[in-house]
Structure 1
Amino acid sequence: MDARDVLIDGIERSCEVCHGLLDGLTADQVNWRPGGDHNSIGWLVWHIAREQDVQIAALAGSEQAWTAKGWVDRFALDLPAGSMGYGHTAEEAGRVVVHDPCLLSGYLDDAVDATIRYLKSLDEGSLQDVVDQRWDPPVTRGVRLVSVVDDASQHAGQAAYVRGLLP
């Protein structure tokens, strides 16, 4: 097992958590927001998929599945097409309304598949390549990919917590 395999395992685990927690939920449950204005399961899982899709497409130099596969139109969110949840206000997060939990699972699967394809395309040495000079120290491909896995893991855990709060 090399570093790429570890990253793949991490991203697959978060995906499995999301599929498990979405299983059997209604659209109302997926969109329920604790306290009326906190992140819903739908927003959290959508953000996991969007964050991966945006970052992996940028690394791969490819189009996001969000637009390339028509997910942006199928979700039809009242948000800019490029929105991914980063910096959303509570009001903006509330605009992520999922009418069919299967739609959410499908987009997540496409984002995860793109992530895995990308990881399998890399040679292990390329994980040391600097991909973002805006930080000190500059961000390597490996560090960026760990951030993707970490973000997915944290938000999957948050979504599982919200499921436990469902009325």
Structure 2
Amino acid sequence: MADDATALHDVLVDAFTRVDDAVASLTDDADPAVLTHRIDADANTIAWLIWHSARVVDDHITGLSGRDQVWPQWRDRFDLPFDDWATGYGQSSDEVAAVPGDGATLAGYFHAVHSATLDYVRGVDADEIERVVDNNWDPPVTAGVRLVSVVNDITLHLGQAQFIAGVAHRAATSG
């Protein structure tokens, strides 16, 4: 039987890898029109949901690990018209629409973030899980709570992206 640290690593690696696999399924050979499809005039696009999810993971995991974000190596490829360090929170409909539907770039950035995430989670132990990382909440947020929050956030966003993909594919085949 695995020791507690190994079991913890296995669960974290599995959770983040499932999300990375979901991104691959959304971006592999994806039509840019599908990646930028909006189910209404102000809805998020698949491209924005993937970009935002990657930005959140990049920001939050590097906040835990103390390492540098992957984003500076990728931001020029996205050529986005908003703040270089934006993560997507509170963005306008126009800003959502500005994220390009380039599946290879979206997947490349997400996979690079995933690799950096695995580097961090493989070193997580019980002390790290219990380490308080934000005293602005009651109770204070621990690294473990932050990890669960990140997995929850990106899972919800990628579920939305998969729903949009289904709607876009049905619209394309029924017209």
Q: TM-score of the superposition, structure 2-length normalised?
A: 0.89
CA distance in 2, matches of 1:162, 1:13: 19
> How many residue pairs end up in the alignment?
164
- The answer to whether the Cα contact below 8 Å between 1:7 and 1:149 also exists between their aligned partners in 2 is no
Q: Which runs of 4+ in 1 moved over 4 A?
A: none
Give, in angstroms, the shift of residue 11 of structure 1. Answer: 1.1
Tell me the SS of whatever aligns to 2:160: helix
Which of 3, 13, 20 is the matching residue for 2:8?
3
1:149 corresponds to which of 130, 142, 151: 151
DSSP 3-state at the match of 1:86: coil
Measure the CA separation in 2 of the matches of 1:122 and 1:163: 34
> How big is each residue's C-alpha offset from its partner over 1:41-72, in whole Å with a ceiling of 9 and x where there is no partner?
000111111100011111111211001xx200
CA contact (8 A) 1:34 1:165 kept: yes
- 1:84 maps to 87
Query: In structure 1, what is the equivalent of residue 105 of structure 2?
Result: 103
Residue identity matched to 1:164: G
Alignment partner of 2:53 out of 48, 51, 57: 48
How far apart, CA to CA, are the structure 1 residues paired with 2:39 and 2:82?
21
Contact 1:77 1:96 in 2 (8 A): yes
- For residues 60 and 156 of structure 2, the distance between their equivalents in structure 1, rounded to whole angstroms, comes to 16
Shift of 1:3: 2.3
In angstroms, what is the RMSD of aligned CA positions?
1.2
Unaligned runs of 5+ in 2: 1-5
Task: Provide the residue aligned with 2:23 in structure 1.
Answer: 18
Aligned to 2:3: none
Which region of structure 1 is more displaced relative to structure 2, 10-19 or 103-112? 10-19
The structure 1 residue matched to 2:163, chosen from 148, 161, 164, is: 161
- Cα deviation code 1:73-124 (max 9, x no counterpart): 11111111011111212222122123x2101100000111111100112223
Counterpart secondary structure, 1:94: helix
Identity %: 39
Unaligned runs of 5+ in 1: none
Structure 2 counterpart of 1:115: 117
